[in-house]
Amino acid sequence: MPHLFNAAYLLALVLAAPYLAWRRFAQGKDRTGWNEKLTGRVEPRTGDEPCLWWHAVSVGEVLQLPNLIAAVRERRPEAVHVVTVSTGTGLEVARKKLPDVAVHQAPLDFSWAIDAFLRRTRPSALALVELELWPNLVRRCEAAGVPAAVVNGRLSANSFRGYRRVRPLIRGTFARLAWVGAQTGEYAHRFVALGAPRERVAVTGSVKFDGLRVDSANPATRVLREAFGLDEDAPVLLAGSTGDPEEAIVLDAYEQIRRTVPDCRLLIAPRHKERFEAVASLIEARGHALRRLSRIRGKGEGGRGEEERSADSPITPPSSPLPPHPVLLLDTLGDLSAAWGLATVAFVGGSLNDRGGQNMLEPAAYGAAVTFGPNTRNFADVVAKLKAADAATEVTDAASLAAAAFGFLTDPAVRAAIGSRAQQVIRENAGATAATADAVVALLPVAGVAADAPLARAA
């Protein structure tokens, strides 16, 4: 069976080679790390302590790891941790957020790459964040006596339909899982339907509700406020994790808002770093002054001496005069979590295009007035909770975003009420991290017990 998957992957790589080359040279993606991906040859781990291998796909999954690893360390302080990530952006964020943890490119699902990675890192257990379930990965871990678990498990309706089409090929993969911690009962049912043993599947809730910042006066947010030159009481519309064409929609809404709320500031944080320059050009082309966090940091906190295009620039000025303060661009990695603390009104991106939404819990935890578009399938359970509590607002276009933001900006009582309800949703759903850490720790060998004991216990 591993050889069948290897052959299929090789064929897929050959067919995808032109597209991968275009991504590499035209978009600047995936320029490094291919040796680790194809061979699994990473820096060997020294020491014989229990080791937990965490695998995260990209940024969203990586951001769940600090709290999870901290919770495991509370229970097993002697255990070491190894993290693998599938994307270049995720790798950068993981190394920034987890400076004391070994972080590697994830090996591709070739049996030889998985085997080499296992020999070099010698993990005691594997924790897959949300899903990222690959046949060779789970099979080779089983052969090496390494139990594989899914933590904060999520199986969307689309993913479930896709897996069901190839169920004969992947049923054995699901059946080999030592444990699944699903975010919801519906997700748990889907894991079982695809072959995961019912007795190994638990509903833990989502770890994304845990460890969220609630105080906008925290040091990281304060540094960003000073860098952007924002007053403590400055009204801010923050559009985070945006993708094309959402920045243009947000700019349309912002220009409507400023006609009646002239002191409102706009901060845009694109989802992918490859779009930072394009978004900066869009902002300037609309006639707005621009202040970029990357430039501010390059010239010292506060941006003294930063070169900015003035609002009366000859480049496509707007039809009516706009206030002189600049549009702010968060063009750095790993800062959005703290930046949400600046938001008076938050628009969560990936929801007015077809991406399926992004995490709206961080702005909710700060008590911002949270808005998002209708396409939120990736966070359907979270959206359902927020809507049931009247703790968020759905918008469909620039006009509805402007109307919602205007209402929140001009009525502090309404804004405070919806923010308070959002924070209550966060509090009511906390606790998944502790339950997940307990289950993962149970897969690790205990002192004085052979390293292959976890697999025997899990089976």
Residue 199 is assigned to a structural domain of this protein: yes
- Is there a single domain that holds both residue 262 and residue 343? yes
CATH number at residue 143: 3.40.50.11720
> Are both 255 and 169 inside the same structural domain?
no
Kindly state whether residue 21 falls inside one of the protein's structural domains.
no
370-380 burial, b at 16+ Cβ within 10 Å, e below that, comes to bbbbeebebbb
Q: How many domains does the chain have?
A: 2
Q: Given the structure tokens 């506060």, which residue do they identify?
A: 302
| Pair (285, 347) in one structural domain | yes
- pLDDT for res 5: 72
* Confidence (pLDDT) at 418: 98
- 234 and 274 fall within a common domain: yes
- The whole-number pLDDT of residue 10 equals 65
> Do residues 179 and 312 share a domain?
no
> Which parts of the chain sit beneath pLDDT 50?
300-319, 322, 450-459
* 239 is a domain residue: yes
- Is 19 part of any domain? no
101 lies in a domain? yes
- The answer to whether residues 200 and 229 belong to one domain is no
Q: Is 11 among the domain residues?
A: no
Tell me whether residue 444 is in a domain: yes
pLDDT at 28: 55
Do residues 416 and 451 share a domain? no
Asked if 181 contacts 398 with a C-beta cutoff of 8 angstroms, the reply is: no
- The answer on 198 and 159 residing in a single domain is yes
> 417 φ, ψ to 5°?
-65, -45
Residue 355 lies in domain? 219-428
**185 phi-psi bin (left φ>0, alpha ψ -120 to 50, beta other):** alpha
Q: Is residue 10 part of a domain?
A: no
Give the pLDDT of residue 132: 83
Quickly tell me which residue has 């190894």 as its tokens. 82
- Do 418 and 445 have their domain in common? no
pLDDT of residue 224: 97
CATH number for the domain harbouring residue 412: 3.40.50.2000
Question: 304 and 397, same structural domain?
Answer: yes
User: What are 309-321's pLDDT values in tens digits?
Assistant: 333 333 344 445 5
Tokens 């309404």 correspond to 414
What 3 state SS string does the chain have?
Answer: CHHHHHHHHHHHHHHHHHHHHHHHHHCCCCCCCHHHHHHCCCCCCCCCCCEEEEEECCHHHHCCHHHHHHHHHHHCCCCEEEEEECCHHHHHHHHHHCCCCEEEECCCCCHHHHHHHHHHHCCCEEEEECCCCCHHHHHHHHHCCCCEEEEEECCCHHHHHHHHHCHHHHHHHHHCCCEEEECCHHHHHHHHHCCCCHHHEEECCCHHHCCCCCCCCCHHHHHHHHHHCCCCCCCEEEEEEECCCHHHHHHHHHHHHHCCCCCCEEEEEECCHHHHHHHHHHHHHCCCCEEEHHHHHHCCCCCCCCCCCCCCCCCCCCCCCCCCCCEEECCCCCCHHHHHHHCCEEEECCCCCCCCCCCCHHHHHHCCEEEECCCCHHHHHHHHHHHHCCCCEECCCHHHHHHHHHHHHHCHHHHHHHHHHHHHHHHHCCCHHHHHHHHHHCCCCCCCCCCCHHHHHHC
Assess whether 275 and 415 both reside in one domain: yes
What phi and psi, each to the nearest 5 degrees, are found at residue 134?
-120, 140
Residues 223 and 359 in one domain: yes
